[in-house]
Structure formats: structure tokens, C-alpha cells
């Protein structure tokens, strides 16, 4: 018994050390990004792995107030506006669609919609942007917020999460309401909607995180940096006349830190939502 506990303890220690190393590997790049945004390029070149900045050099944050002829606040506004609008539409549209498909998968036409949706999910997401560009062009929406938002509001993963949730609603709940003579509209508004509030919040959160990351569709559909979001601006910081390393890290930090904070505050919901969508998908 005694040898066993010694062995257990050494195994535990090993697990601790190993997982501490793994945690470091996953957190260090974020830390490095933030620290680098406060260090001059020369200092970075001299001592790339320093854990704390020599001094808080905030030059870069001042320098990126205008990028490529566009103000930083406009990129930030675009990020927030496009992300919120696309996610709101995505949650609303997808929730209604998922509910209808869950309740009546066999109605004429519904199979086709589900099939089309499935195809969209399987088309390599990055490459879908190419034909979407042609469609947005044909719709006359190139270079508009509408074109960008419409495309970003098609979010398959939200559909999977929502369908999963609707499947978990006890059938009896709906059946008994039907017995009581409730119309479908009433069932939807009085029964389904109220119990869906938490899941709607969760999918909104996840949709927000995922849309905030988007860059390729925005880069392709936008016709001017005026419509760029923070991640797109970040990728556009290289110009022919060189790159400012410190400023790149500063913009990367501005793009990333709010998301990290949001995620830390909502991690249970977010991870739970991802798992539910994926496991049942």
C-alpha cells in the first residue's frame, strides 16, 4: 500500500510538471505578444524571450491610430458592428430554421433545405469565399456591410448546437400543450422561446467569438479598407515600405485581448456550447 502511494505521488508530480509545460506552451505566445507590444524593435532583437518589458513603451499604440489611411476607431467600429449584426442575424435566423427543421423534418421542401445546408457545411469554408464573391457581385453588394454581414450570418456550428438543444426538449411538453389546444405559434412563443433563452445566449456568445475572428470573407467582399475589421487590418499592416513589428504586436493585442477577457468570463458557457454542438453534430 505504501509503495503504491509513493508511486502515485511521483506520477502526480510528473503529470503536474508535464501539464505546467503544456499550459506554458499555450499561454506563452499570448504573453509574448502583449509584452512585445511594449518593447522597441531593437530591444526585441537583442533579447527576444524577455518575460517583462524593460519599460512600458506605448509608442506603438499611438502610431497605429491611423493605418493605411483609415483610423483605428473605424476598424474597431467595423469589428464590433459587423460581428454583432452578423451574429444577431445568425442566431435569429438559425434558431427559427433549426426549430422548424427539428419539428417537421419531413415537410415538402424541408429535406432540400437541410440537404443544401449540409452541402454548405461540407464545402471547404475558405474556398466558399471564392464563389460567394461572385454571388455578392451579382447581388450588387460588393463593398457593402450588407454583403459582409449576410455571408457571416451563415453559421453551421450554431445550427448544430440549436438542433441539439431542441432535441433535448421533452416531447411531452409540446404534446401536452397541443392537447390543451395551443396553436403552433403559441407553443413556439409560450413554451419553446422561454426555455431557449439560455441556449440563445450561449450561441450568441459563440457566434460572436467566431465572427470576431473572421478575416478572409471580409477581405474579399470589402472593396476598401474602410470596411476592414481589426483582424483584416492586422493582416494588412505589411506595406511595400516595411513593417513595424512593435505596432503589429500592439494591433494584435488590441484584436485579441478583449476576446480573451470575454472568453475567461464566459468560459463555462462557451466550452459547454462547443461541446454540445460538436458531440451531437
Whole-angstrom Cα Rg for the chain? 24
Question: Which lies closer to other proteins via its Cβ, residue 16 or residue 176?
Answer: 16
Beta-bridged to residue 242, according to DSSP, are 239
Cβ neighbours, 10 Å, residue 122: 9
Alpha-carbon span 85 to 87, nearest angstrom = 5
Q: How far is the CB of 264 from other proteins (least distance, A)?
A: 7
Cβ neighbours, 10 Å, residue 161: 27
Question: Which lies closer to other proteins via its Cβ, residue 11 or residue 58?
Answer: 11
Nearest residue to 232 via CA among 252, 250, 247? 252
Nearest residue to 60 via CA among 257, 229, 249, 258? 249
Q: How far is the CB of 258 from other proteins (least distance, A)?
A: 10
Residues 6 or more apart whose Cβ sits within 8 Å of residue 205: 262, 266, 269, 270, 273
Question: Which lies closer to other proteins via its Cβ, residue 2 or residue 4?
Answer: 4
37 in Cβ contact with 246 (< 8 Å): yes
Question: Which lies closer to other proteins via its Cβ, residue 126 or residue 179?
Answer: 126
Q: How far is the CB of 220 from other proteins (least distance, A)?
A: 8
Q: How far is the CB of 66 from other proteins (least distance, A)?
A: 7
Q: How far is the CB of 271 from other proteins (least distance, A)?
A: 6
Q: How far is the CB of 92 from other proteins (least distance, A)?
A: 8
Alpha-carbon span 267 to 277, nearest angstrom = 15
194 in Cβ contact with 262 (< 8 Å): no
Question: Which lies closer to other proteins via its Cβ, residue 60 or residue 252?
Answer: 252
Question: Which lies closer to other proteins via its Cβ, residue 56 or residue 112?
Answer: 112
Cβ neighbours, 10 Å, residue 207: 26
Q: Residue for cell digits 474602410?
A: 226
Question: Which lies closer to other proteins via its Cβ, residue 24 or residue 58?
Answer: 24
Q: How far apart are the first and last CA of the chain?
A: 45
Q: How far is the CB of 56 from other proteins (least distance, A)?
A: 19
Amino acid at each position: 500500500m505504501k509503495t503504491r502511494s509513493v508511486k502515485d505521488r511521483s506520477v502526480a508530480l510528473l503529470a503536474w510538471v508535464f501539464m505546467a509545460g503544456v499550459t506554458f506552451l499555450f499561454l506563452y505566445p499570448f504573453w509574448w505578444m502583449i509584452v512585445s507590444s511594449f518593447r522597441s524593435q531593437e530591444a526585441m532583437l537583442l533579447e527576444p524571450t524577455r518575460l517583462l518589458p524593460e519599460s512600458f513603451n506605448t509608442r506603438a499604440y499611438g502610431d497605429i491610430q491611423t493605418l493605411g489611411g483609415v483610423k483605428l476607431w473605424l476598424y474597431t467600429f467595423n469589428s464590433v458592428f459587423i460581428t454583432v449584426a452578423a451574429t444577431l442575424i445568425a442566431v435569429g435566423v438559425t434558431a427559427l430554421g433549426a426549430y422548424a427543421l427539428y419539428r417537421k423534418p419531413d415537410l415538402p421542401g424541408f429535406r432540400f433545405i437541410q440537404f443544401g445546408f449540409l452541402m454548405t457545411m461540407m464545402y471547404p469554408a475558405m474556398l466558399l469565399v471564392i464563389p460567394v464573391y461572385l454571388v455578392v457581385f451579382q447581388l450588387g453588394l460588393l463593398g457593402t456591410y450588407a454583403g459582409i454581414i449576410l455571408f457571416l450570418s451563415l453559421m453551421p456550428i450554431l445550427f448544430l448546437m440549436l438542433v441539439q438543444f431542441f432535441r433535448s426538449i421533452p416531447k411531452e411538453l409540446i404534446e401536452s400543450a397541443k392537447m390543451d389546444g395551443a396553436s403552433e405559434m403559441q407553443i413556439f412563443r409560450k413554451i419553446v422561446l422561454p426555455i431557449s433563452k439560455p441556449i440563445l445566449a450561449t450561441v450568441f456568445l459563440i457566434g460572436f467569438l467566431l465572427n470576431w475572428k473572421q478575416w478572409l470573407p471580409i477581405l474579399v467582399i470589402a472593396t476598401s479598407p474602410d470596411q476592414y475589421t481589426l483582424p483584416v487590418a492586422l493582416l494588412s499592416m505589411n506595406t511595400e515600405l516595411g513593417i513595424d513589428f512593435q505596432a503589429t504586436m500592439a494591433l494584435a493585442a488590441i484584436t485579441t485581448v478583449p476576446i480573451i477577457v470575454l472568453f475567461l468570463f464566459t468560459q463555462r458557457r462557451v466550452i459547454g456550447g462547443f461541446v454540445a454542438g460538436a458531440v451531437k453534430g
